[in-house]
Amino acid sequence: MDELLVSRDGAVATLTLNRPDRLNAISVPMLDALSHALVECDRDPAVRVVVLTGAGRGFCSGLDLKDAASGQGIGGGGQVGGPGKFDLRDAPPIVLHQLDKPTICALNGAAAGYGMDLALGCDIRVAAASAKLAPAFTKRGVLPESGGTWLLPRIVGWSRACEIVFTGRTLNAEECLAAGLVSRVVPDEVLGKEVLSLAHEIAENAPLAVQATKRMMRLGQDETFEANVHHVFLQLLPLFRSKDFQEGVRAFVERRPPKFEGR
């Protein structure tokens, strides 16, 4: 069985973690497939939004601790790094962070450990009512190893991030919403529909402008206001020359929805 499923709905690509019998626990083949799929989506001009979700009743239970305990898989037998093995530089959280295409996590159930870091790495998170985030790193003798130490304080602030990761306490969907970890909480049965609707709403906008905006927001987290304004201006110049900008102006004048081509 493929450990990652890839499907398309127009300009929206959905990547589904597919080990439902293990609550989509992370394996080396899954990591490799996810990284490659993310890169391919970013390269494909027909894809404008990427959705990440899980099969079954969970999003991702983290690294497969059963495999690790048996000496197999990540953390068990040295399966990360080295010739022919998964390279940490190509890990999905790093690829997610570098992606220009907008990403949405459809949090369909529990996300623990590595799974929580994957969810945090997406630009937008929409949670089902039954979803949970479980930062159980310190309860397992590790730390948020896949972007969580960088992402979490930027999302919720230092004090709240410290409380979340130091205690390792599981947060339900409403607690995630109150903390700003997710954008919205919806009934389980409509999660897919709500996320797809949001993804298509984003995809209808000018893709070059959306991607440039994401790049500048990402860059702005590590530079001064003045530097960011300068870089934004440099991004703006080619957008002014794009066919999408011309289409956006014409559509406004003609009072009709624009039809962007990503050129």
What pLDDT band is residue 83 in, cutting at 50, 70 and 90? Answer: very low
Domain range holding 232? Answer: 207-254
- For residue 68, pLDDT over 70 is answered with no
Q: What is the tally of structural domains in the chain?
A: 2
Please state, as a whole number, how many other Cβ atoms lie within 10 Å of the Cβ of residue 200: 15
Q: What is the mean pLDDT of the chain?
A: 90
Model pTM score:
0.89
One domain, residues 198 and 107: yes
The number of CA neighbours under 13 Å toward the Cβ of 42 is 19
The confidence score (pLDDT) of residue 92 equals 84
**Residues 64, 67, 71, 73, CA torsion sign:** negative
Please indicate whether residue 26 or residue 13 has the higher confidence score (pLDDT). 13
- For residue 70, pLDDT over 70 is answered with no
One domain, residues 232 and 134: no
Residues 160-197 pLDDT 10s = 999 999 999 999 999 999 999 999 999 999 999 999 99
Please indicate whether residue 63 or residue 17 has the higher confidence score (pLDDT). 17
One domain, residues 191 and 245: no
- For residue 82, pLDDT over 80 is answered with no
Residue 184 maps to a domain? yes
One domain, residues 187 and 131: yes
One domain, residues 184 and 215: no
The alpha carbon of residue 193 and the mean position of all alpha carbons in its chain are separated, in whole angstroms, by 18
One domain, residues 226 and 161: no
Kindly list the distances between the CA atom of residue 246 and the CA atoms of 204, 205, 250, 251, in Å, as whole numbers in the listed order. 16, 13, 6, 9
What pLDDT band is residue 157 in, cutting at 50, 70 and 90? Answer: very high
Please indicate whether residue 1 or residue 156 has the higher confidence score (pLDDT). 156
Residue 259 maps to a domain? no
One domain, residues 134 and 221: no
Residues 203-229 pLDDT 10s = 999 999 999 999 999 999 889 999 999
The residue behind tokens 């080619």 is 238
CATH number at residue 236: 1.10.12
